[in-house]
Copies of this chain bind each other. A is one copy, B any other.
Amino acid sequence: MSVIYNRVALIGLGLIASSMFWATKRGGLAGHVTGYARSQDTRDTARRIGLCDEVCDNLIDAVKDADLIVLAVPVGAMGAVAAEIGPHLKPGATVTDVGSVKRTVIDAVAPHLPEGVHFVPAHPLAGTEHSGPESGFATLFDNRWCLLVPHESSTAESVAQLRVYWEGLGANVEEMDADHHDLVLAVTSHTPHLIAYTMVGVADDLRRVTDSEVIKYSAAGFRDFTRIAASDPTMWRDVFLNNKEATLEILGRFTEELFALQRAIRTGDGDMLHDYFTRTRSIRRGIIEAGQDTDAPDFGRSKLEK
């Protein structure tokens, strides 16, 4: 791989930014990478583990010479960061973000960017339940999707260049418009996360089943929910506040279906349940065939030995 951007600035040094850094190094995709995080603590950690070629104590220093500026902070913080950096961006630079919601991020960021700066919003569909500067790794984006949501301020060249960069990071790239992005993600990510948080909350609340029982006997299905519900609270608060409409719509559909299944249980309608549970299997097969998950039982958690 060759250098795609001479100077890259990573703003926010958490899971996504740190994974981007390691993958950028792996691919030799940037000449120089600066980094900035809000807290001294995170900047110190970044320096200690060699995250970024240069960690700046000041946001403006990090972005002022950059050809690509990546906003990798929680969705709710994007606007404020854009407002601060806007006046200091190099003409012709590309600004991108990695936020999990696109419509509100675009509305919050775009007004602060000067003419001549290209804004190409993006969202890599990859993550883990861990966060912070030490959670990143170079292979996070390999064979995952990254969705680009080009803004009117972006040129064909700036979009094409970001695409090549994300491909260099390991991802497959597609373009999508902001509203459709937010709806698709409400289905594949946001609503599942809310439901997982809810189920873990219910378990935590029950008086007649102790926490220690919930923990001991979690392997029967519940523990998969707890992994999802261990994700960063700030990130997810911002996601729900910023993808309100689509999340509420999908939640409405979810509740409807849940009530139908609930009624089938109450009335003993075994055929309805069996049909429903049969239908959902084909989606799993599709995901495995598309290479988006392992077919190893239990995600390969159990070692297979005979």
User: A residues within 8 Å of B by Cβ?
Assistant: 22, 76, 125-130, 135, 137-140, 144-145, 147, 180, 183-185, 187-206, 208-209, 211-231, 233-234, 236-238, 240-241, 244, 247-248, 250-251, 253-255, 257-258, 261-262, 265-266, 268, 270, 273-274, 276-281, 283-287, 290, 292-294, 297-306
The answer to whether A258 touches B198 (Cβ under 8 A) is yes
* A interface: dominant SS: helix
In the bound complex, what is the Cα–Cα distance between A251 and B263 (angstroms)?
11
The answer to whether B228 touches A224 (Cβ under 8 A) is yes
The answer to whether B266 touches A244 (Cβ under 8 A) is yes
Name A125's contact: one of B214, B220, B224, B231 (CB within 8 Å): B220
Best-buried of A183, A209, A278, A284 by chain B (most CB within 10 Å): A284
The answer to whether A218 touches B137 (Cβ under 8 A) is no
Instruction: Output the nearest chain B residue to A281 by Cβ-Cβ distance.
Output: B230
The answer to whether A258 touches B265 (Cβ under 8 A) is no
The answer to whether A216 touches B290 (Cβ under 8 A) is yes
The answer to whether A226 touches B283 (Cβ under 8 A) is yes
**Chain B contacts for A280, CB-based, 8 A:** 197, 200-201, 204, 226, 229-230
